[in-house]
Structure 1
Amino acid sequence: MKVVSINKGVTEKAPTVITLVPENKEDLFTVYQIVDKDDEVIFKKLFTSKNEDAKKNNTDLVNLKLKILSNEFDMRDEYLRYKGITVIDQTGVANIDIPIGKFLSFNIVYTHPITIYKHHFNKYAEKLLKEACAEENKSDTAAVVLQEGISHVCLLTSSSTIMKQKIEFTMPKKKSATDIAKFDVKTESFYKATYEAMKKNFDFDELKMIILCSPGFYAKTLLEKVLKYAEEEQNNSILDNQMIFFVAHCSTGYLQGISEVLKNPEYASKLEDTKFSKFAVIMDGFLKHLDDDDDRAWYGRREIFRACSMNAIETLLITDTKLRSDNIATREKYLDLLDDVEKDGGKVAIFSTLHTTGEELDRLSGLACILKYPIANLDEGFDSEDEGDNEEEDNEAKKQKLKEIETSA
């Protein structure tokens, strides 16, 4: 992601203005997490307006400013769509000759910058932006998944697989000696092109692991070819980091093959130190403590806040939806929880609900922890005041909404 500018509001009520350009589906995920309901967004869109002097309507690329009402997001299809209502733009950049109060929808695209007027720019949103800007530098795992004539060069992040380049060759049939010769030449060209794509997209000195996976022996052959080409070019960046290559087997040369490898228990020990598999390892550890019933794993809002007050949390597991609650007071409460855990020396793992591990945690209230030491009966002794916490938060949200309606009226 390219962040053009961030201008924090001069007063507490003034919005923070963020101008950015999303560049891949991982960036769409970041935008999805940052933009909340009632935030305002300026974007470019083809807009058709009626022309009273001409028979045909005019269609122009214009700047529109919407107050966000809802969104739809699909990571796999790289689809992020917002619905909103046009509002006044004090800067005079957007909504020129566009009626105010018009309901519109738009898709986030990679070609134009967007400007976000964010009313609650907290430390979580700031952290997301910083990570998005350095995502490719921070990605510590890469992968090439391939089969005959096709390979996919990818970077792996904690929430997605980013395909950087696809190499595809049409391989000739091996019916005669001439065809076999052509096949061998094409095969060599295919491996060479994959090698060049890896050089272009991978920082071999920064990556902790490069997974080469395929059905059959294609991955093993690719590793042999990569080391051969690197030796010929005296590419020390590759030669000095041979130990980061890891060959694995999968059933397909398409992206699903990477998921197969990451979920395969045979490779778990090899992958446990990579950022991409970190969340799976944490969740497995939590579930093991839960199965062992050793009083070190707990889930539920009241239990977690009580454990935090005792400085007993070793690892906090929380879903991203908790940090994007529509109730700002609730959101800030969870952000304070993160700070308290880290101040006490604990670790925090924020799970994406777009991942299976995040979905699993969401079913367990979206909040869990692994304790530094066993605590029995952590879920007992809550009084009626504790029981009413959720209802109190709901009432606060209702009050806030009622206040907004009265203000607008």
Structure 2
Amino acid sequence: MKIISVLEDFGENENTIITLVPQTKDDLFTIYQIIDKEDEVIFKKLFTTKKDEVNRKTSTDLVNLRLKILSYEFDIKEEYLRYKGVTVADDTNTANLDVPVGKFLSFSVTYEHQFTIFKHHFNKYAKRLLKEALELETKSDTAAVVLQEGISHVCLLTASSTILKQKTEISMPKKKDATDINKFNEKTEKFYRATYNAMMKNFNFDELRMIILCSPGFYAKALMEKILKYAEKEQNNSILENQEMFIIAHCSTGYLQGITEVLRDPEYSTVLQNTKLIKEIQIMDDFFEHLNKDDNKAWYGKEEIKRAAKLEAVETLLITDTVLKSDDIDERETFLDLTYNIEQSGGRVFVFSTLQSHGEELGRLKGLACILKYPIPDLDEILENK
């Protein structure tokens, strides 16, 4: 993400004005989390205006429009972030020059043009999101290829999602005789070459720290051998000089679930522990382990966790972005203060994306759970007796 400027407006509206240019899917995700209903934006859009009422001539131009946000649609896999809103007065005199106030419009966020956000409540959570978007270590530095016979999925792993960049599928013939075996070998070579080409197209090998090749059986190992063969032939030094970035792992399926299996497998967790995604999965597993043991260290529910926080007993807080992005500003501020107080008392806070599978799991627990520093068997009874 390219940040042009961040300004505090201490005028009547007390907005924080952020001008930026999104550059990746992760940037769209950050924008989705930052912009709330009632915030305002200035963006560029092709707009048709009447130039002459008498002759009814029209002109289509790229103009600046200022909208108050009313709703949004977001699909990170399709790189689709669309807002709907209504035009409002613009005190910067740069937008809505030919468009009346009160007109309902929609627009999609693109990578082509900068746009400006007028943020009414630039709270601690939004500030942290913007800061993280600018830090190199929060960018995607881990990729994965999960495959089985005739099918592969080339993915990038981010804090927000497993992003499928390209799927390769080739129908493999049965091996009944020598002719079929030759055809099978040709198709196999074609399959691995196509997978390699997909990696070259979608991966920046100079920026990645880790590439997981995972599969049932021997397919991941075979792919690694083919990658080195093709790289040697092409003198691709980005691969040849960084072979240690590749990890070969076993999973039960060549589909996307296989990546989650690897991320959860203790055999690979030591190698993968530096990535934010694997840390979140491990924390979820720890929480459910305590819950299944019924050792009174795992709790979920807003009131229970608030009580535990007052006792400074929270070791780890698990909270979804949906809870922190509540439309109720007072509720949002309450949970932002909760996360701050837990961090101040030595606890850890993990914010889970509901676009990721483990974030969905947490969402089914109302988006809030915790692991305590010590057991509190009567935490809910204390609340009932209050």
TM-score interval, normalised by the smaller of the two chains: 0.7 to 0.9
Larger mean Cα displacement after TM superposition, 76-85 or 99-108: 76-85
Q: Rate the CA distance shift 1:265–1:74 in 2: closer, same or farther, 3 A.
A: closer
Equivalent position of 1:104 in the other structure: 105
Q: Which amino acid aligns with 1:377?
A: D
**Following TM superposition, by how much is the alpha carbon of 1:164 offset from its aligned partner in structure 2, in angstroms?**
5.8
Equivalent position of 1:344 in the other structure: 345
* CA distance in structure 1 between the partners assigned to 2:196 and 2:84 by the alignment: 46
Map residues 9-408 of structure 1 onto 2, 5 A cutoff: 9-10=9-10, 13-51=13-51, 52-134=53-135, 138-145=139-146, 153-162=154-163, 190=194, 193=197, 196-197=200-201, 201-203=204-206, 207=209, 209-214=210-215, 217-228=218-229, 233=235, 235=237, 239=241, 242=244, 244-249=246-251, 251-252=253-254, 257-263=255-261, 267-271=265-269, 273=273, 274-382=275-383
Judge conservation of contact 1:250–1:261 (CA < 8 Å) in 2.
no
Judge conservation of contact 2:32–2:81 (CA < 8 Å) in 1.
yes
Judge conservation of contact 2:69–2:84 (CA < 8 Å) in 1.
yes
Judge conservation of contact 1:231–1:239 (CA < 8 Å) in 2.
no
Judge conservation of contact 2:39–2:119 (CA < 8 Å) in 1.
yes
Q: Rate the CA distance shift 1:49–1:243 in 2: closer, same or farther, 3 A.
A: closer
> How far does the alpha carbon of each residue in 1:87-111 deviate from its partner, in whole angstroms, 9 at most, with x for none?
1111111101211011222222222
* Identity %, equivalent residues: 55
Q: Secondary structure at the match of 1:7?
A: strand
Judge conservation of contact 1:297–1:370 (CA < 8 Å) in 2.
yes
**Following TM superposition, by how much is the alpha carbon of 1:330 offset from its aligned partner in structure 2, in angstroms?**
2.2
Q: Secondary structure at the match of 1:19?
A: strand
**Following TM superposition, by how much is the alpha carbon of 1:279 offset from its aligned partner in structure 2, in angstroms?**
2.0
Judge conservation of contact 2:231–2:237 (CA < 8 Å) in 1.
yes
Q: Which amino acid aligns with 2:289?
A: K
Q: Rate the CA distance shift 1:39–1:49 in 2: closer, same or farther, 3 A.
A: same
* CA distance in structure 1 between the partners assigned to 2:264 and 2:304 by the alignment: 35
Unmatched segments (≥5 aa) in structure 2: none
**Following TM superposition, by how much is the alpha carbon of 1:180 offset from its aligned partner in structure 2, in angstroms?**
9.3
> How far does the alpha carbon of each residue in 1:232-273 deviate from its partner, in whole angstroms, 9 at most, with x for none?
859487556526522345644xxxx23333136884541462
* CA distance in structure 2 between the partners assigned to 1:57 and 1:22 by the alignment: 31
Judge conservation of contact 1:136–1:155 (CA < 8 Å) in 2.
no
> How far does the alpha carbon of each residue in 1:347-390 deviate from its partner, in whole angstroms, 9 at most, with x for none?
11111122232222223222111001111201123379x7xxxx
Q: Which amino acid aligns with 1:246?
A: I
**Following TM superposition, by how much is the alpha carbon of 1:141 offset from its aligned partner in structure 2, in angstroms?**
2.2
- The alignment covers a number of residue pairs equal to 378
Q: Rate the CA distance shift 1:229–1:44 in 2: closer, same or farther, 3 A.
A: same
Q: Rate the CA distance shift 1:324–1:109 in 2: closer, same or farther, 3 A.
A: same
TM-score (norm: length of structure 2)? 0.83
Judge conservation of contact 2:297–2:375 (CA < 8 Å) in 1.
yes
Q: Which amino acid aligns with 1:242?
A: E
* CA distance in structure 1 between the partners assigned to 2:169 and 2:136 by the alignment: 26
Larger mean Cα displacement after TM superposition, 282-291 or 157-166: 157-166
Q: Secondary structure at the match of 2:74?
A: strand
* CA distance in structure 1 between the partners assigned to 2:67 and 2:336 by the alignment: 28
Q: Rate the CA distance shift 1:343–1:211 in 2: closer, same or farther, 3 A.
A: same
* CA distance in structure 2 between the partners assigned to 1:192 and 1:301 by the alignment: 48
Q: Rate the CA distance shift 1:27–1:192 in 2: closer, same or farther, 3 A.
A: closer
Q: Which amino acid aligns with 2:55?
A: A
> How far does the alpha carbon of each residue in 1:252-297 deviate from its partner, in whole angstroms, 9 at most, with x for none?
4xxxx23333136884541462422322221121112112111101
**Following TM superposition, by how much is the alpha carbon of 1:66 offset from its aligned partner in structure 2, in angstroms?**
0.4
* CA distance in structure 2 between the partners assigned to 1:59 and 1:37 by the alignment: 29
Unmatched segments (≥5 aa) in structure 1: 387-409
